[in-house]
Amino acid sequence: MTDGPMRVVVNDEEQYSIWWSDRELPPGWSATGFEGPRQECLDHIATVWTDLRPLSVRNRTP
Amino acid sequence: MRAPLSPAQERLWLLHRMDPDDASYIVYLVRRLRGPLEEDALRGALADLVARHESLRTRFVEVDGVPWAVAEPAEPAEAGDSPGSPGSPGSPGSPGSPDSLNSSGSPALERLAADGPQEAERLVAERVNAPFDLAAGAPARVTLIRLAADDHVLCFTLHHIVADGSSLNVLLDDLAACYTARVRGREPRLRPLPVQPSDYARWQRRRVERAVPYWQGKLADPPSPELPFDRLREDVRPGHGAFHHIRVDAAVTGELDRLARERRTTLFAVLMAAYQVLLSRHTGQEDVLVGTAVAGRDRVELEPLVGYVAQTVVLRGDLSGNPPFTELLGRTRAEALEALGRPGVPFERIGPPLGTLMPTMFILHNQNAGAAPAFGDLAVSGFADGYRQVKNDLLTEAWWDGDELIVSFCHDPGMVAPATIRRLAARFGLLLESIAAGPSTPIAELRIWTDGDHAVIRELAGNGTAMPAAPPKPGQLTEHGQSGQPGDFAEPGASRQPGGSAESGELAESDPSVPELIAAAVRLHPDAVAVVCGDRSVTYRELHAGAERLAAALRLRGVRRGDIVGVRLPRSIEAIVSLLAVWLAGAAYLPLDPDDPDERLVSALENLARTGDRPPYLIALDGPESAVVIDPAETAPAAETPETSPAGHATPVSHAEAVVSVEPHPADAAYVISTSGSTGLPKGVLVEHRSVAARVRWMRREYGLGPGDRVTQFASLSFDAHVEEVFPTLVAGAALVLLPDGAATLPDLLASPAGAGITVLDLPTAYWHRMVEAIGTISWPPALRLVILGGEQVSSAAVGRWRARFGDGVRLVNTYGPTETTVIATTADLAGPAKPSALAKSGDLAGPAESAHLTWPAESEDLAGSGELTELELRELRELRELRGSGVAAGRVPIGVPVGATSVHVLDARGEPLPPGAVGELVVGGAGVARGYLGRPALTAAAFVPDPYGPPGARRYRTGDRARWRADGRLEFLGRFDDQVKVRGFRIEPGEVESHLLAHPAVGQAHVTARGDDLVAYVTGTAAPDELRAHLGGLLPRHLVPTLWVRLDELPLTPRGKIDRAALPDPGRASAGRAAHVPPRTDAERLVAGIWSEQLGVTSVGAFDDFFDLGGHSLLATRITARLRAETGLEVPIRTVFAHRTVAALATAVEDLLVEELSALTDEEAVALLGRTP
């Protein structure tokens, strides 16, 4: 997972990760729109993913 | 006449000198001759050949360690003469002749008769596989086997030192011409032969000398040698070979040939580039070394020569940057033009060992396209040669067959599973097809994995969704519980449904959490002993009551669902109670080691346990002021006591609320394990309840835990191995036995009456290694039935010792898994009773097919997509299943197959899954995948990535570990991707060196690390450093062979049972590795040092100087042995010089040889001999 541009992806539990820009997204994941070199994607995630709890856990325990 | 050898001849001579019985360097010509054979004419023709070709009259003698070629003068043969017949006069002074050689040292005609082709084949095979004595006479044999009056087989066998492949064509042509001439009664007309081998050898010596710097530069810093498969054994050299052939059809061959012409290069370059892609796609390496042979007859005067003219050269492919194949072809073309035009250099002159420079070879044979010359009136055809010698781990050859190509893969079936080679060959075939179909495809995207490979990948991956993956058959139930009663299952399903089986399938749906499972065990076995600690013990009822009391206290103190509570307690019942109490309070625990320094504790609490602005909670006997410290003995105050809220805390719950245990949701956090991060900040891995539940249920079933079991609690609680010890035990109604005085007291516990009943040990691998080294002194409990290992690469020698002691009486399981995938991800059974269900543990195997028609478990079909498997896929899977049952081979110990509810893939750099044989990154999906790293979003997003094979939205964990599926369907661990150290500029994976050391039969433990400019090896066991150095020297490049060696009785371990790097002794003081200059100390050392100094041209040689470090190489080694022989009269084997690389070591070896020899002598002989030693 080193080559090529990546994009920031997120699943239904609002967990973030990265995926190759030129590849089909795995089921259950959607692109956030942010795209770039791997490290830039990770830096972006660091700013937007502030609560690492899955959405379902967040909803049950405010 | 005495002449020097060509460098390539010198090399073969040396190989022969080291192993005279090796028959692998033989070339041969086997032809069937049908028709009226005139034997006298054949003898005459043979004599003509001997007269014409110096090679057929040349033997090789050694003078002072230097080989010389000695050619007998040519004796012109007369027509009708039969020079080879017995009784013909020989030259004076020639050595005694073995069979098939006449007294002039040139080949005679051996005549045999065979009853049929089969017997003839056997006779041919015997001759083709028999070694030569190079000193005795010309290394050539000619045999004529009579099948019938008009049907013969002619077998011409020569040592490679006097002939190469092209020579065979020359010989056949010349023999045919001479025979035909004699039959027809005329003079043979042969091409002029201006150059003889001795002329060529002198010329070649000069050329090679000039080429040495080129090759040294070209092949500097070679990658570590990797083959595209796993070896069955590591400790043997290739022996007898087997061949596997594939046919490349005319359409593909035509396309490849067209591609070559279009790119102004040759089919060889296309095939070589493709072969490099094949290797690279398996090893992940972008720097690929492949040997090849070139005829070397680019001068017209060399064409009619019989001699060793062919060159072995190494092509170095640069496959970096995922270029289109056509671009790689351009690089290969340039590389081939540059390299093939230069003379090859003996590998010894280049530096790194042969295995490193040329792990494999690829050769394209360009058959003589011209019409075969007339052979009298005989019809000439091929005949089976039966050649079965292997020179290489993998030798791949291709040749034309009409307009198709045949590709042959030669390997040693004792070292590589035949199925492995068959798969490799099929992949090469598919790769050639994909290149033909799209030559501009980037090389990483060319199709290479067959449909069978994809089926195998799916089969091996395991099932990350279901738990358990497949409901076991009712008959297997008794394997899980000790007593075999279904009622022993402490699963809620069992207790809620009396008479129903816990395996009824409800499990997968209901997913009970571990606290619920333990509560069920409490209901089933309230009075059974749950935890033993020294003299104290608690029952299940007491354990649970204690946990509920503390949980209520925690709730009253403000602990909420989702909080993280530190637990820092000594090994005690209270510690176990505390873990459960945190869960019953709805929180997750953060276990901390009481032996860790306070700063680390504070840092872990602040970074991992603090929620918002509330101070972190800590269950401990004492603790920092910054935390809310709760004594484990604390209980909730009585209901009427007014509740006080610590400043800054949220309003505590009411007493009534506090005493009600919280049922965790599957996605709630269960625990956080603190690991050291590279930044110095602690990194907390957060694991959810569903993951713990999946693992604990699987472990309880797979380890067959029941109420009769007593399981030791060895691991520090701060390490996630405790999860494997504590919870499966408590879920099963078994007893957990603590080690209150520390893990190191395990042998004392085992020796005590309380230890005799221990049935299960879960140990860090390094600690187990140490126990096995002292296997005879440990009081192994009579009840012991299961030992679980994990944490480091297991030594195969230790497994051997274990099996020697326990046979299959005690089950031994190796486990692998990062904390991020919840304790374990894969397991391998290394010893133990045959377990039919072991094959089915990943749930996807039904065991051997019971009917003629193979039926597949449901999810195998699901995984296959369409549910339909092709014949090929079926065959691959069938073969995989057969191999899966096979035992542990010598060499690397596997880490096994995925545990339940877990999927494992080995991925290439593009994230595509790899089949057996290929090396990639181990990636784990399924129920065990942790939530992530607390408060570290970027780190979490990088390591926990989308899982395209899991349910929608699933993630999987990239372990950073290198691994490979073996042919038997088990994984092997090959070190870490990021574990590289740099020593003198070389990138080194210590794990790679360690794994080779651990595969050595006399090594117990091994640890390799870098210190300054040295690579240091710490080893235990009986092997001497010299021996290990030689062992590694044969397997790895020089820079991967440790320069400093420290032999220890045992490796120091941390309290957690990992190797304690900080406590490893300083190699400078601990070893005699590379000391400062020490002048030779004994007569023998002075003798050796003197010879080295003279042969190596080094003035001051010290006792600990290394032969190779001083510039020695194997050709020089023969001169050393010759000088030693001259000085002492002792025959010192060349191997001794290689194995004892320092002056001191060689001197000792020489002394030992001397003692050996003296003991066999009479007193007078001994005195006489001693008089010659200095």
Query: What value does the CA radius of gyration of chain B take, rounded to a whole number of Å?
Result: 36
The shortest C-alpha distance from A30 to chain B (Å) reads: 9
CA distance to A21, A41, B132, B357, per residue, from B391 (Å) = 46, 50, 16, 14
Torsions phi, psi of B1064, nearest 5? -70, 135
Which stretches of chain B drop beneath a pLDDT of 50?
Answer: 79-104, 369, 466-509, 640-650, 678, 836-867, 885-889, 1069-1075, 1173-1174
Residue A54 has pLDDT above 60, yes or no: yes
Residues of chain A positioned with their CB less than 8 A from the CB of B909? 1-3
The shortest C-alpha distance from B686 to chain A (Å) reads: 10
DSSP helix/strand/coil, B502: coil
**Mutation choice for A interface testing from B663, B903, B940 by most A CBs within 10 A:** B940
| Beta-carbon count within 10 A of B310 CB | 21
Domain B1083-1170 - what CATH class?
A: mainly alpha
Q: Is the dihedral of CA B657, B660, B665, B667 positive or negative?
A: positive
Q: Which two tokens stand for residue B152?
A: 């013969």
Rounded CA-CA distance B17/B66 in Å is: 11
Asked if A16 and B941 come within 8 Å (Cβ–Cβ), the reply is yes
| Beta-carbon count within 10 A of B64 CB | 10
Asked if A12 and B953 come within 8 Å (Cβ–Cβ), the reply is yes
Residues of chain A positioned with their CB less than 8 A from the CB of B560? 61
Predicted confidence at residue B245, as pLDDT, reads: 93
- What is the value of pTM for the model shown? 0.79
Predicted confidence at residue B986, as pLDDT, reads: 65
Half-sphere exposure of B458 (CA within 13 A, CB side): 22
Rounded CA-CA distance B532/B713 in Å is: 10
Domain B979-1070 - what CATH class?
A: alpha beta
Residues of chain B positioned with their CB less than 8 A from the CB of A12? 952-953
> In b/e form, how buried is each residue of B818-844, taking b as 16+ CB within 10 angstroms?
bbbbbbbbbbbbbbbeeeebbbbbbbb
Query: Which amino acid appears at position B184 of this protein?
Result: R
The shortest C-alpha distance from A54 to chain B (Å) reads: 8
The shortest C-alpha distance from A33 to chain B (Å) reads: 16
Within B885-1024, where are the H helices? 937-943, 990-998
> Is the CB of B946 inside 8 Å of chain A's CB atoms?
yes
Q: Which ipTM value was assigned to this complex?
A: 0.98
How many Cβ pairs closer than 8 A exist between chain A and B? 91
CA distance to B29, B502, B751, per residue, from B709 (Å) = 69, 19, 18
**Residue B84 neighbours by CB under 8 Å, 6+ apart:** B43, B46, B47, B102, B106, B107, B108, B109
Asked if B665 and A2 come within 8 Å (Cβ–Cβ), the reply is no
CB contacts under 8 A, A 14-53 vs B, are 15-20, 25-29, 38, 41-43, 45-46, 49-50, 52-53
Predicted confidence at residue B500, as pLDDT, reads: 33
Rounded CA-CA distance B993/B995 in Å is: 5
Predicted confidence at residue B540, as pLDDT, reads: 98
B474, with CB counted inside 10 A (0-12, 13-18, 19+), is exposed
> Is the CB of A54 inside 8 Å of chain B's CB atoms?
yes
Residues of chain B positioned with their CB less than 8 A from the CB of A8? 941
CATH number for B2-199 (one of 3.30.559.10, 3.40.50.10470, 3.10.250.10, 3.10.20.30): it is 3.30.559.10
Question: How far is the first Cα of chain B from the last one, in angstroms, to the nearest whole number?
Answer: 35
Rounded CA-CA distance B954/B941 in Å is: 13
Rounded CA-CA distance B653/B642 in Å is: 12
Rounded CA-CA distance B60/B134 in Å is: 5
Rounded CA-CA distance B1095/B1116 in Å is: 7
Closest B-chain CA to A10: B953
Domain B514-638+652-792 has CATH 3.40.50.11270: no
Q: What's the order of all strands across the beta sheet hosting A29-36?
A: A16-20, A6-11, A29-36
* Residue among A17, A20, A42 whose CB faces B955 most closely: A17
The shortest C-alpha distance from A32 to chain B (Å) reads: 14
Across-strand partners of B496? none
Domain ranges of chain B: 2-199, 514-638+652-792, 979-1070, 1083-1170
Residues of chain B positioned with their CB less than 8 A from the CB of A45? 937-938, 941
Q: At which residue do the structure tokens 């713990």 appear?
A: B692
- CATH topology (fold) of A6-52: Rubredoxin-like (3.90.820)
pLDDT digits (tens, 9 = 90+) for B433-485: 999 999 999 999 999 999 999 999 999 998 776 443 333 333 333 333 333 33
Rounded CA-CA distance B137/B107 in Å is: 9
Q: At which residue do the structure tokens 């591609």 appear?
A: B259
